[in-house]
Amino acid sequence: MNALVIDDSTAMRLILRGILQDLGFEVSVASDGLEGFEMLPQLAAKLNVILVDWNMPNMDGYAFLRQVRKDKAYRKIPVLMVTSESDIKKIQKAFAVGASEYLMKPFTAEALREKLELVGVLG
Amino acid sequence: MSLAPPNNSVTKMEFDFIRQFILERSGIALDANRMYLVESRLGPLARRRQLNGISEVVARLRAQRSGDLALAVVEAMTTNETSFFRDVHPFESLRTTLFPEIIQQKGRVDLWCAACSTGQEPYSIAMVASESFPQLLSQKKLKILATDLSTEVLEKARSGRYSQLEVNRGLPAQLLVKYFKRQGRDWHISDRLKDAIEFQQTNLLTVRVAQKMDIIFLRNVLIYFKEDNKRRVLTNIRQALRPGGYLFLGGAETILGLDAAFETVRIGRTLCYRLK
Ligand SMILES: C[S@@+](CC[C@H](N)C(=O)[O-])C[C@H]1O[C@@H](n2cnc3c(N)ncnc32)[C@H](O)[C@@H]1O
């Protein structure tokens, strides 16, 4: 299984990568939405899930998600937003543009596993 | 002024005493390797009560085996771990199969969450109903009885308030924004869901439920009981279930060999038991 993690925090990329590897994923990382989007042509065919932060330089997670959902080649890839935004309006906004699930920071490894189950990439 | 911190490690003798005590009081058998659990649960309890570490807790229990401290120790030691939509599939089977079947048979559903802990399980069930069979809630045709031994977890369950860490776990975020309001750092569940649930304190070893249930959730609690107490609990549970009613256990639990009155049924990706 393959996952792409997009987060501008090095620490967060490490944490997410660690948990995902424990769950059996091969993990690619990008440090903002633009970099992540540019990696998609190479990765998309084998990608099972994308985890994306909201607030990042260059292209934020919201803009990234909109791009992904507009593109026929990427539209079906489950995208999990992993962010410290916990405003109800923000969460609704993310779903309105096609987020598959939404996880608020801080979170535990079990919480991430359960979200991956919910989007159907685990269990 | 310097105060030496009370010693919160537990001796073998103290651990054996606590184990025996918990077994007698709740029927729950702590694993022999759960010393850390005694330390992590009873250490804070000793501090809150300004007792001098676990040794003093044990000394007081030896002197008086019932009362306020005894209850607090039992509560602290019975694990309350839970999450929304735990294991997913049992809730799926309600939606796809059991709710439709029972609604067709009798127009209403009576369900018992027999060890509901802090309430995530009964609230998840109420959310399934609200999402897929809204008439169950609007016409008050779903009654969920939710019980637990611990008054502390029940108080929390009744309040319907959850931390961010708790709502992160297992709960689809679409349901979070639909059924919860944020207040400060907490999330409060809607009264509409609360209305379908009645919370009650009960001990599964002694409980008698007069009503006949269509479905009973008895998940992740049998694991704590020894064989003879498991039988006792199952007898009490069986008496509360109508013939043809369904029993759900936790993923690691089974009643095979314990009770021949049930047959195993597979619904989608979950196993449950039907009372013959
Ligand atoms: C691990 S939780 C299970 C919660 C939920 N059913 C789930 O599966 O997520 C176990 C619960 O059983 C309760 N319990 C333990 N012994 C009990 C007894 N004798 N009678 C009633 N409840 C009991 C504990 O207080 C605890 O809240």
pLDDT tens column, B177-223? 999 999 988 999 999 999 999 999 999 999 988 889 999 999 999 88
Enter the ipTM. Answer: 0.92
Supply A54's token pair.
Answer: 């909201």
Does the CB atom of residue B86 touch ligand 1 within 6 A?
yes
Average pLDDT over residues B251-269: 86
Q: What pLDDT is attached to residue B259?
A: 77
| Residue at A53 is within a domain | yes
Burial level of B271, CB count in 10 A (0-12/13-18/19+)? middle
Supply A24's token pair.
Answer: 């059996």
Report residue A53: phi and psi, to 5°.
Answer: -75, 165
| Residue at A56 is within a domain | yes
| Residue at A101 is within a domain | yes
Q: Is A96 on the interface with B (CB under 8 A)?
A: no
**Same fold for the pair B12-77 and B89-275:** no
CATH of the domain at A47: 3.40.50.2300
Ligand 1: distance of its center to the CA of B267 in Å?
Answer: 24
Separation between Cα atoms, residue B131 and residue B176, nearest integer Å: 12
Separation between Cα atoms, residue B150 and residue B49, nearest integer Å: 18
Report the CATH number of the B12-77 domain.
1.10.155.10
> How many domains does chain A fold into?
1
Number of helical (H) and strand (E) elements in chain B, helices listed first: 13, 10
Supply A36's token pair.
Answer: 């992540």
pLDDT tens figures, B1-40? 345 555 668 899 999 999 999 888 877 777 776 787 788 8
Q: Give the DSSP letter of residue B160.
A: T
Q: What pLDDT is attached to residue B44?
A: 87
| Residue at A123 is within a domain | no
Report the CATH number of the B89-275 domain.
3.40.50.150
pLDDT tens figures, B117-160? 999 999 999 999 999 999 999 999 999 999 999 898 999 999 99
Amino acid at B176: L
Q: Where are the domains of chain B?
A: 12-77, 89-275
Q: Is B83 on the interface with A (CB under 8 A)?
A: yes
Q: Shortest CA distance to B237 belongs to which of B206, B260, B193, B268? A: B206
- Domain span including residue A85: 2-118
| Residue at A68 is within a domain | yes
Q: What angle do CA B128, B94, B241 make, to 5 degrees?
A: 120
Q: Which of B165, B169, B181 sits opposite A114 (nearest CB)?
A: B169
Q: Is B254 on the interface with A (CB under 8 A)?
A: no
Amino acid at B241: L
Alpha helices in B115-163 (DSSP H): 120-132, 134-138, 151-159
pLDDT tens figures, A55-81? 999 999 999 999 999 999 999 999 999
Contact A50, A43 (CB under 8 A): no
Average pLDDT over residues A77-93: 96
| Residue at A88 is within a domain | yes
